[in-house]
Every structure is written in structure tokens, then in C-alpha cells.
Amino acid sequence: MAVTGRTALLAALGSLPVGLWDPSWTGILAVNAPLALACACDFALAAPVRRLGLTRSGDTSVRLGETADVQLTVTNPSGRPLRADLRDAWPPSSWQPGTEVAGSRQSLAIPAGERRRLTTHLRPTRRGDHRSDRVTIRSYGPLRLFARQGSHRVPWTVRVLPPFTSRKHLPSKLARLRELDGRTSVLTRGEGTEFDSLRDYVPGDDTRSIDWRATARQSTVAIRTWRPERDRHILLVLDTGRTSAGRVGDAPRLDASMDAALLLAALASRAGDRVDLLAYDRRVRALVQGRSAGDVLPSLVNALATLEPELIETDARGLTSTALRTAPRGSLIVLLTSLDAAPIEEGLLPVLSRLTKRHKVLLASVADPKIEEMANARGMAEAIYEAAAAAQAQSERHRTAEQLTRRGVTVVDATPNNLAPALADAYLSLKAAGRL
């Protein structure tokens, strides 16, 4: 039940007859009794909310930053027309800040016995599963003096997937991959190390690749082509511990790591490698394993959608042993973590040898552009102290990276915008060098 502004306005206008014509209890009664009666009639004539039928349909997943449309079908089975305001409640992050109220409310009019479809446009600002809350309907009477109000629970979930902004780099990286493959129109020798096939010599080919034995068997000169290794295993390990929660720009480090992981996965699955994913802090948060090339990226995106940084220290020992259990021998293990000195030196370094003994390890870390900016700050004394602190932090990072490099780990340290292409380049160069 709810009164409307019109009721309050009529009551306020009623003070004129009460004051001028009959200033007594009689006057008060003469104004308010008809008003109450009208409200009661309105309440009785409003379409009942409880008997409305509500069903949903529409998008179940959307990429962060895009719009999801969820339809709500409202059936009015009663004999009275429905004039109502409706609020389709979702968590606040389902809309851009400031548009929550406008986005969730709609007014509708449904004649008796008919149904209408409403569309709620969601524009989520956060990853993860967004579950609809209740649908509240305020059904007005014909005079709009009084309303019935009630709620329905119509469950629906929209999964908001990582934006994968780095997919714009994918065409260029794929072109580079085709060069490696020897399949490009550019006459460069495929840089892989695995024998692929023989073909006729074309002027411009590297004469060192001529297969004399095959040439002897036929009339033309044959050359060997090479291709990069295929069917290698790549395990992407996302560290979801406390260091991944720190915000670089306005997104956590984890989001930049995810972006890089997705680009690498897209590239590697095209290059014929098998990609698995492990997200770990003190327990397994997500594990994607053994998917086919066409299926791996959707599974990864789905698994990453609900991943959030946890405010706990990562258990490097547990992470290492889980990675060893997950990855077959000779895999490329891509650790997406941070290069902070303490967690690496105390956590990862003591157990790193177990990984490097059996696998090739690539460590990618999100650098903070703010620190670079601080390191270049000049002018006031405060700025110099900031520059000194930033220089100190950078040199610690370099030292940590050097320690890792000495143990055979390839380190990629880049700002969020550059991390994904840098990681892809590192992967391609490892592939080109045949070090996978």
C-alpha cells in the first residue's frame, strides 16, 4: 500500500475550505472523509500485484563495458487494467554510476488479461555474476490517489566477462605467428625448429635450407621448411593473493593479468598449443584443463569472470605443487604475479627450482605507471623524496627480476596497457627460439 503525491496535494488544498468555510472538526471531517473514501475506492480498483505473472528472458552473459538486455514479461491476469511503476532491482554495479535509478525504473500500463514485455538495459561496471533482486510493482488506482505495492522474485543471472581489451593486439601477433610458421607471403624461412615439409625452391629462399638429398631425387631444387613446435602445453598460473588486489590506475592488478592471460591463450591456441589455467592463492580458485583449441578461450573467460583478488598471502609452495601436478613435463608455465621483493624472495624463490627443473617458466608482472611517474618527479623537495622512493622501488624490482633471470626464468615486467602484447611477444620469441 502506498499513498501518492496527489493525495497529499489534495489534502493540502483541503486546508482552504477548512480555514475559510468551516474551521472545526466538521470541516476537517468534510474534507478528509471523501479523500479517504476516494483512496479506498482507488485501492479497491487497482490491479492486484500478487497475481501478476512475471517471467524473464534475454542475455545471460555480457562483456564488461557492453550492454546486456534482460527482458521481463509481465502478465496481468486480473480483470482490471494495470497502471504501475515497476522497479527491476539489480546490484548497484549493474549500471553506470548515477544511472541506477533511471535504469531500474519503468512505468507500464497493461490492459486486463494482456501481457507486455519490458527491457532492462544493464551496463555493468564490475566483473562477476550479477543476480537480479526482486521486482517491485506499485499498481495505481484509476484516480492515482492510492496504490497497491508488492514484490516478486524472478531469478536471473547475468555473467559479466572480462573485457579482453587486448584482443586488438591479436591480429598483429597472429601475423607474427604466421611468419614463424612459414606460411606467410613474405619469403622468410619459417623460423621454427621442427621439420614441416619439402617444397620447391623459390629465389630468395635461404640456400642453407636446400635439401640436397631430395633435390637429387627430382628435377627441381627442393628446400625444407620448418615450423615451430606444436602441441606444447602452456599453464597460465594466476596469483589471486593480496598482491593482485593492488590497484594500478583504476583496476586491480588481477584484471591486467587476466587480460594478458587471455591474449596469450588466444594466441597459443591458434599456434596449436594446449592452454590450461590455474588461479591460486591458498587454494585453487579456478582450474581450466584439457580443453580443445576452439573451446579453451570461452572456458577461460567464463572461469575468469567470477575471479576476485583475495586479501591473503599467496602460498607459493602450494601453488608450485599444484602447478606441478597440473602441467605435464616440459610445459611452459606462465606465472602472472607481482615482482614485489618480499613475496618473491620469501615465497617463490625457495621453491622455484622444482618448477624450473621440469618446465620452462615465464613470469609476468604488472608494473605501476604511477611509480614511473613518481621516479621522474622533480621540483619541490616532496617530489624529490618521491622520486627517490620510486627509484628505490624500481631498483628492488630490477634486483628481484635479475635473481629470477639468473635461475632461468624469463621475466616480463610491463605497465597494464603493455603487459598483454609484451607477454605475447615473449611467448613468440620463446617459440621462435624453439625453447618451449
Partner 1 sequence: MTGSTRPAEPPQPATPSTTRQPDAPRPTTSVSPTPRQLWTRSRGIALALVILLATAVAIAAVRSGAQHGRLDPRSADPHGSRAVAELLADQGVSTRVVTTTEEARTAAGPDTTLLVTNPDLLTDGQRSRLHAATKHSGGRTVLVTPGAPSVKDLAPGVTAHDTPSADSTLSPGCFLPAARRAGTADMGGIRYDTLTPDAEACYLSDGLPSLLHLPAPRGKGDTVVLGAPDILYNDHLDKRGNASLVLQLLGTRPELAWYLPSLSDDRTADSEQRGFFDLIPSGWRWGTLQLAIAAALAALWRARRLGPLVTERLPVVIRASETVEGRARLYRRANARDRAATALRTATRTRLAPLVGVSPAQAHAPETLIPALSTRLRTPGQDPHPLLFGPPPGNDTALIALADQLDALEREVRHS
Query: Please, what is the minimum distance in Å from the beta carbon of residue 201 to partner 1?
Result: 32
Least spacing, CB of residue 300 vs partner 1, in Å: 10
Task: Find out whether 260 and 165 touch, Cβ atoms under 8 Å.
Answer: no
* CA distance readout (Å), 237 to 20, 332, 345: 81, 10, 18
Angle in degrees, CA 268, 269, 270, rounded to 5: 90
Q: Is 216 exposed, middle or buried (0-12, 13-18, 19+ CB in 10 A)?
A: exposed
Nearer to partner 1, 128 or 318 (CB): 128
Q: Which is nearer to partner 1, 154 or 351 (CB)?
A: 154
- Which residues are bridge partners to 107 per DSSP? 85
Q: What is the DSSP string of 117-167?
A: EEEEEE--SS-EEEE--EEEEEEE-TTSSEEEEEEEE---EEEEEP--GGG
Smallest distance, Å, CB 104 to partner 1?
9
Give me the least distance between CB of 140 and partner 1, in Å please. 12
- Based on CB atoms, which residue is closest to partner 1, 222 or 268? 268
CB of 139 to partner 1, least distance (A): 12
468551516: which residue's cell? 22
Torsion of CA 17, 23, 25, 28, to 10 degrees: 20
Q: CB of residue 155 vs partner 1: minimum separation in angstroms?
A: 5
Of residues 167 and 199, the one with the C-beta less far from partner 1 = 167
Residue among 272 and 358 whose Cβ is closer to partner 1: 272
Separation of alpha carbons 65 and 187, rounded Å = 41
Q: Cα–Cα distance between 164 and 302 in angstroms, integer?
A: 12
Judged by beta carbon, residue 117 or residue 131, the one nearer partner 1 is 131
DSSP 48: P
Nearest residue (CB) to partner 1, 57 versus 188? 57
- Of 163, 175, 184, 202, give the one whose Cα is nearest residue 61: 163
For 82-129, give the DSSP string: EEEEEEE---GGGS-TT-HHHHHEEEEEE-TT-EEEEEEEE--SS-EE
Q: How far is the CB of 358 from partner 1 (least distance, A)?
A: 30
State the minimum distance, in angstroms, from the CB of residue 404 to partner 1: 15
In the complex with partner 1, which residue's Cβ is closer, 264 or 324? 264
Contacts of residue 172, Cβ cutoff 8 Å, sequence gap at least 6: none
d(CA 287, CA 308): 14
Closest to partner 1 by CB, 304 vs 319, is: 304
* CB of 135 vs partner 1, minimal distance in Å: 8
SS3 label, residue 374: helix
**Measuring CA to CA, which residue among 315, 307, 310, 372 is closest to residue 343?**
315
| Minimum distance, C-beta of residue 23 to partner 1, in the bound complex (Å) | 4
Indicate the residue among 262 and 409 with the shorter CB distance to partner 1: 262
